Amino acid sequence: MDKTLNRIKYLMERFVNEEDGEEEDKTLIKIFYNDLSLQGKQKVLEAIDESFEHADVFTDDIVRDNIEEALSKRPMITMSGEELVNKMDIDM
């Protein structure tokens, strides 16, 4: 859970810095919820549903709509091309 919270905090800090007018780095990859396939979106919703016992993402349309709307506004993941190459263990 701490790892997830740290990742969310990191993403929010990056978002705030971008909103403050910092020049956008062209080497950054931004992945939005809307960029995912239907299966990818399903996995994200399943992960959220499993993480929060009090929220039922799949039967409560209002909760699901709020989650999807929030996820479509900011990138879910932001990383550099170098980070991607390192994480995927691509030999350059």
Task: Record the pTM.
Answer: 0.60
Looking at residue 87, its pLDDT comes to 85
Spatial distance between the Cα atoms of 61 and 84, rounded to a whole number of angstroms: 34
Residues 38-58: tens digit of each pLDDT: 999 999 999 999 998 888 888
Question: How far apart, in Å, are the Cα atoms of 25 and each of 7, 21, 29, 41, 78?
Answer: 20, 12, 9, 26, 11
Average pLDDT over residues 82-86: 88
Average pLDDT over residues 16-34: 72
